[in-house]
Structures are given as C-alpha cells and as structure tokens.
Amino acid sequence: MRARLTARGRLTLLLTALVLAAGVVLTTLTYLLTRRNLSARLSFLDHRPSGTPGTPQGPPVFRLELHRLSDEVRDATLSELLTQAALGLVVVTGLAAVLGWLVAGRVLRPIRAISATAQRLSAENLAERVPVTAPADELADLAETVNGMLDRIQRGIAERDRVLASQRLFTANAAHELRTPLTTMRTAVEVTLDGEPSRAELLTMAEDVRTAIAHSQRTLDGLLALARSQAGPREHSAVDLAAVAAERLAAVADEAAARGVALRPDLRAAWVSGEPVLLERLVDNLVDNALRYNHPGGHVTVTAGTARGRAVLRVANTGRPVAPDEAAGLLEPFVRGEAARAAAATGSDTGAGLGLSIARAVATAHHGHITLTPRPAGGLEVTVDLPAAGP
C-alpha cells in the first residue's frame, strides 16, 4: 500500500509548489519583457536614417552583418537569461523546501502537543491539560477548546462516580431496611414454633410478625414515593402550599395535643405549579417529622408565603440539638439523626428514614430546593423554596 504523506510533508510540498509556481511566472515575465526590450532597441538601431549620428555607414553588406550580429547578441542574452533564471529557480525552490519543512514543523508543533496530551490521557488520568501558548490564534483556540472538553469530561466522570456511589449506598441501605423485618419475622416464627407454643406465645409471634410487615410496608411505600418523586410531576396544577399546610395541621391536631406539642401556623397564600399529590406528600413529610421528633411542651411553627417571585414554606420544630454536619446528611435516604436513634431506643416509631429525602426529591422535581438549618435552642428548621405561580 502506498505510504501517505504526513501533514507536515503535504504542507511543505504546498509551500514549495507555490514558490516554484511563482518563480516560473516571474521568470516567464522577465524573459518576455527582456526579449521585447532587446528587440525594440536593436530594431531602432538598424532602421535609423542614414546620416543620423551613430548610424552605421557603408555598403548594404555591412548593414546585413550588423543585423546578424544584433540577432546573435539578443539570442545569446536571452539564452543566458534563461540559464541563470533556471539555476536561480532551482536554488530558490530548494531553499523553499527546506524552509517550508521548518515552518510546517513550527506551525504544527501545537497540534503535536495536543495529540501527545490526548494519547497520555486515560479514564484514571484526566488532570493533564494542553499548554496554551501565545499568540491567541486558531491553534490557541483549539487548545482551549480541548481543555474545556477535558474539564467537562472530568466533571462528568466525577459526577458519575458520585451517583454510582450514592446508588450503591442506597441499594445497600434499602436491602438492610427490607432484610431487618424479614429477619425479625423468621426469628419470631422459629423461636415460637420450637416446641409446643401456647396461645399466648402464638399471639405474641403474630404481633411481632404484624409489626415487621408494617415496617416493611412503610419502607416499600417510601421507596415507591421516592422513585415517583424523582421521576418528576406528570401533571401541573396550581397548588397553594398554605392551604395544603393548613389541611395537614388540622389532620394532626389531635396527635399534637396528645404529644403536648403546640402548632403555630402563620400561613399566607403561596401558589406554585406542580403535581398536587407530590406537593401534598412534601408538606405531610415535613409536618410529620417536625411533630415526631419533638418533645412535650414544644411547638411546631409552619409559615408560608411569597417573596421575590418564590413560594416559601418553612417548618420549624423544637427538639434535641442538631449538629450542622448531621443536618446536612439528613436529606439522604435511610439517614437518621440522633433524635431518631434516641426515639428508636425507646421503641418509638421512627419511620423508614425516607421522609426528608422524598421532600428533597419533590422540591428538585419542581425546580426548587430545600435547606435544613439547626435551631440554636434545639430542633430543626426546614425551608422549601419553589418558583411561585399564579392562583
């Protein structure tokens, strides 16, 4: 197979061909102009009238000899011109080839640097970048474009690794949450049926199994709600967060009274556009968490309103102190704070640890965000910020 020229070789040939073509054109023009000039001068000399100063005198034979000599001088001059021009053209073309090779190498050096950098890169080594040198020409723009592409690839890989790690952690936590009640049911059945169980023992086993099944059902419901929230709203309607919060507070009023927790609503219209079911789940989770992780004599403050084109819902509760780093992790699935672990130690129902993660998924699906701020006196303040919409 015929070997292909490199880009440097093709560029060198192009520069050499341009110099050669320019030299041929210049030589041709010089030859024609010199020939025309010599012919005009010699013709003027031969045809001047007799008696004119400088006019050759003598018989016609002498004039013929002079004409022949003038033709020989013209031909010799033109031949010598062609010989010297051809020799000069060969020398200039050779120099053009050498200089073209050097110039092509200089021009293509940044491209070779880009190619060498790209060959050294791999999925594990994306930190190296193409050097950008002056002047700011097309090659510098190409180097900056390649570096920008590498930056985007590196960020994409980092984000992919983060998502994969989060998914692996989520899968492990979900498996653990589902395996725990199954283990409880199996242990209860095996211990109870090991021998001749009495009616009381069978009833106790049934109660343990029912509790474990209820825990599994809550976990599965939470997982389904989380998946649904992450998928985003399937329909959009005008929803007033203040009205949703008022309904939820009315629904938990008896439970709050039984726990000795005061409800303090401060609700103004906060219209958003979204799926009502998901937005109701968001409000329900925030109010339920604020009530569950509270203490007798405490309170839950729920405020809603609109500011600067954003609908804001804020749920604050009293309770155990929450560290800032602990608050940042509460939005992750299956993550429980110290208050949840303390409640679990007393046998209280602490849920599946999906409430705040579902709330974050709903807020994100509706182009908003959620923030958790520990209160200095204890407890947590959760703020949901969504784009406002007309009623």
Backbone angles phi, psi at 332, to 5 degrees: -80, 150
pLDDT of residue 46: 54
Residue reference for tokens 């023992």:
201
**Higher local confidence (pLDDT), 17 or 73:** 17
Give the E-state strand segments of the chain in sequence order.
237-240, 262-267, 271-274, 299-307, 310-317, 369-374, 380-387
Predicted confidence (pLDDT) per residue in 204-261, tens digit: 888 888 888 877 777 677 667 667 666 666 778 899 999 999 999 999 999 999 999 9
53: pLDDT strictly greater than 70: no
pLDDT exceeds 80 at position 365: yes
Distance between CA atoms of residues 362 and 272, nearest Å: 13
Quickly state the pLDDT bin for 188 (edges 50, 70, 90): confident
Q: Select the highest-mean-pLDDT range: 147-151, 345-349, 350-354.
A: 147-151
Cα separation, 240 vs 246, in Å, equals 10
pLDDT tens-digit series, residues 291-316? 988 999 999 999 999 988 999 999 99
pLDDT of residue 360: 86
Say which range, 70-74, 104-108, 145-149, has the weakest mean pLDDT: 70-74
Mean pLDDT, the chain, integer? 81
- Both tokens of 11, joined, read 């560029």
pLDDT for residue 55 is more than 50: no
235-391 is classed CATH 3.40.50.10310: no
State the alpha helices, DSSP H only, in 265-349: 276-292, 324-329, 338-345
Q: Which of 68-72, 333-337, 338-342 has the lowest mean pLDDT?
A: 338-342
Q: Would you state the pLDDT for residue 347?
A: 47
Segments making up each domain of the chain, as ranges: 7-45+61-120, 235-391
Do the beta carbons of residue 233 and residue 384 sit within 8 Å?
A: no
Nearest to 249 by CA among 294, 292, 301: 301
Residues 330 and 338: their CA atoms lie apart, in Å, by 10
Residue 338 reports pLDDT greater than 60: no
- Range name among 16-30, 134-148, 193-207, 231-245 with the lowest pLDDT average: 134-148
Composition of the chain by helix, strand, coil, percent to 5: 65, 10, 25
Decide if 266 contacts 303 (C-beta within 8 A).
yes
Using 50, 70 and 90 to split pLDDT, how confident is the model at 361?
confident
pLDDT of residue 350 exceeding 70: no
Identify the band that residue 1 occupies on the pLDDT scale cut at 50, 70 and 90. very low
Q: What is the pLDDT of residue 204?
A: 85
